[in-house]
Structure 1
Amino acid sequence: MSSSTASPASPGPADPAADGPLALTSRAPHVPADRLVAEMVPPPRFDSVRFDNYIPDANQPSQAEAVRVLAGFAAGLGGGASASGAGRKRWFRREAKPAVPAGPRGVYLDGGYGVGKTHLLASLWHATPAAPEHKAFGTFVELTNLVGALGFQQTVRTLSGHRLLCIDEFELDDPGDTVLVSTLLGKLVDAGVALAATSNTLPGKLGEGRFASADFLREIQGLSAHFRPLRIDGEDYRHRGLPEAPAPFDDDTVKRVAHATEGASLDDFPALLDHLSKVHPSRYGAMCDSLRAVCLTGVEPIPDQSTALRLVVLADRLYDREIPVLASGRPFDELFSEEMLNGGYKKKYFRAISRLTALARDAKSLVKE
């Protein structure tokens, strides 16, 4: 992966001694800007995804149609100025503007959580015929973090030589961030960069647990003409024919597994939530470096929305990296209050529950009777 050449994150305070488990609460890494740029590739969970290993639901013809359309979109992005030249280190200088092909320069994947939008978005990245340093993949949060690290103009220069920018989970909850990123995307479209995006639900747009394409196109204002909406119907694949998530374990079991598993972390859940408030979410991925498993004791309902949203980001980074989560206390479907699950961030919370449940299922194999 391209990130292998990025500057490493400085680890912050040292982890506990080698004869005991690690602790997320001891980690507050500094992440240099060049690492943020180099890590704009599909995360480890999506390293091997491709269009041909996406399994469409036979009862949802829109899924097979999405594969066909996206494969054609990727094939149309070959060649041009972005497909050759220097690597990522060119981000400190300007490059010639590539020619802008005719037709829509973006696709918007419109569907509920768990229908495989991220799989398809990463497959589009992999299928686009350009070197990894000429295409970028990241969440909306990672893109705004990049703007914060580099500044707006430098981010424009950094990404303008790319063939493709994929944005997963485009967040429309904050109008200021939406305008910022929409302005950035306008500059990139002018430079010939193709766009692909998925998005999260706006407050008040809860309906089917999905965000409608008409609302997305309205929120990104003048960019709507550049996007082709692509509807993907279906149910959450993580629960399609899968067993129930395992019930939480007792504290002693969680601690025993943490001590017996190389590379495992062990944290008290309330203490971890407090620690997350002191580390910028852009650094949560680096917090997970080298982890083989996350063990948590005393899981309990989240006390407030700010804390809940930070946990959502951590859950995404753990899921991206396929790190199993073993926990005691309350089950993950009891993390968020009814008020949260019926509020403006509903889709994020349901995604977190779905992903943590999948990771808890993965962790069951760590427990040896």
Structure 2
Amino acid sequence: MSPTSLRPVTAAYAALVERGALTADPAQRDAAGLLDDVLAGLEADQPKGLFGKLFAKPEPVRGLYLYGEVGRGKTMLMDLFFAAAPFPQKRRVHFHEFMDEIHAGMAAFRKSAKGKDADPVEAVVKPIVRSGLRLLCLDEFHVHDITNAMLLYRLFEKLFAHGVTLVATSNVLPDDLYKDGLNRQLFLPFIELLKQQTTVASLPAAQDYRRMKFAGQHVYAFGTGPDVRAEMDRLWLRITGGEPGAPGVVESIGRKIDVPLVAMGAARFNFRDLCEKPLGSRDFVRIAHHFDSVIIDDVPQMDRTKSDAAKRFILLIDNLYDRGVKLGASFAAPLEQLGLDDKTAFEFQRTVSRLVEMQSEEYLAKGLRDAAHEVQE
């Protein structure tokens, strides 16, 4: 059957297999079919005409909670699904980023004049509902602290009541969320709500495809010129399955970070795109949450004239390392000679140590870490 005769997500998946970017996996194909079911429900529920849009009562469409081990293709399938959703009232965000936004909104409301007696949860849900959001896609659903655990039922009860459909990926079953957490019995109603509003499906894919991309690869190149660039080009095509990539965007605190190339969960930047622009820790956290692999071209030696860029590079590597993101990079000089600025010498020693570890087989074989934490500005 040709990809053009299939439903949208399944067709996009089949096209990647046909191009050789993916190896066909029955479990991934089945998951693509489940995502197509959600899409079909959303399309059937689309309000028709002006009066339909004005007076339509929100009807929740059953979503999907897709869980499985790291590297099995959950993020890739979410990419295909989100791209296939043919309406603008959709949002995709990492779970922890979404919850940070909710907490920040509640805190701001409590400080306002209206926040003395009103419900802060209702206050943060209202603008979401007013935006017309129909589809919320959350990557890496994982509840690890009591503040989120105690909030989730009230938050999602309101979102579901307003017709928001949830599609989420996770490494764990719903029944294992917040396992052994403090006052977990108060969290159990949310698990039941989640199971009522989504189809829970596992992704038992045969292999860790993310690990296979980097098996036996040299991820760093040293020097400058066309040979080094060609080496990075080969690594890029290896980790993207031959997909050349296209420009993308990462949203961060109300602004957009341009990404020169995005493909198959990977991003490619030049050093100046990340370290010679006014980016900070929160921006680098966003990038680390959006991509499992990052390539950085043309990392220079950093002397006193590049002091600000050196500080950003240190922050960038810290965030990629903490998250377990796989790094490929070309460097103008050997790692131990990168930092020439006395002001950042001590911090650079730690960065070099981390760069050495990040090229090791042990680091490349590990999955992403749950490095959720709130970045203080």
Q: TM-score, normalization: structure 2?
A: 0.50
Quote the residue 2:93 is aligned against: 138
Does the C-alpha gap of structure 1 residues 117 and 246 become closer, same or farther in structure 2, counting only changes over 3 Å?
same
Aligned to 2:38, the other structure's residue is in SS state helix
Per-residue deviation at 1:222?
3.6
Pairs within 5 Å for 1:94-243:
98-101=57-60, 105-130=62-87, 132=88, 134-151=89-106, 152-160=121-129, 161-199=132-170, 210-216=171-177, 220-223=190-193, 224-234=195-205, 235-240=207-212
* Aligned CA distance change for structure 1 residues 284 and 239 (closer, same or farther; 3 Å): closer
Partner of 1:348: 368
How many Å apart are 1:62 and its aligned residue? Answer: 2.0
The question of whether the paired residues in 2 share the 8 Å contact of 1:285 and 1:314 is answered with no
Corresponding residue for residue 27 of structure 1: none
1:264 corresponds in structure 2 to: 271
- How many angstroms does 1:189 deviate by? 0.7
TM-superposition CA deviations, 1:145-187 (whole Å, max 9, x none): 3224433444412333222100001122223224334432221
Alignment match, 1:69: 34
Cα distance in 2 between the residues matched to 1:310 and 1:262? 16
Structure 2 stretches lacking a partner, 5+ long: 1-10, 107-120, 179-186, 230-267, 303-315, 336-351, 372-377
Structure-2 separation of matches of 1:266 and 1:162: 32
Give me the whole-angstrom Cα distance separating, in 1, the residues matched to 2:166 and 2:196.
12
Given that 2:284 and 2:319 are in contact with CA atoms closer than 8 Å, whether structure 1 keeps it comes out as no
Contact 1:281–1:313 (CA<8 Å) still a contact in 2?
no
Over 3 Å counting, the alpha-carbon distance change for 1:336 and 1:311 in structure 2 is farther
Q: For 1:147 and 1:192, how far apart are their aligned partners in 2?
A: 18
SS in 2 for 1:195: strand
Aligned residue pairs, count? 246
Show CA shifts across 1:211-265 (max 9, x none): 2343249764342221211111222213336652315456x779xx89xx99424
Q: Which has the larger radius of gyration?
A: 2
Q: 1:148/1:293 Cα in 2 relative to 1: closer, same or farther (>3 Å)?
A: farther
How far apart, CA to CA, are the structure 2 residues paired with 1:312 and 1:242? 16
> Does the 8 Å CA contact 2:174/2:191 hold for their aligned counterparts?
no
Judging by fraction of residues, say which structure has more strand.
2
Quote the Cα distance in structure 1 between the aligned partners of 2:201 and 2:69. 12
Q: Which amino acid aligns with 1:264?
A: F
| Cα contact 2:324–2:369 (8 A) shared by 1 | no
Task: Tell me which of the two structures has the higher relative contact order, counting C-alpha pairs closer than 8 angstroms and 6 or more residues apart.
Answer: 1
In the TM superposition, residue 297 of structure 1 has moved relative to its aligned partner by 8.2
Q: CA deviation at 1:82?
A: 6.8
SS at match of 1:196: strand
* C-alpha spacing 1:334/1:242, structure 2 compared with 1 (3 Å): closer
Q: CA deviation at 1:190?
A: 0.9
1:243-262 correspondence runs (5 A) = 244-246=216-218, 248=220
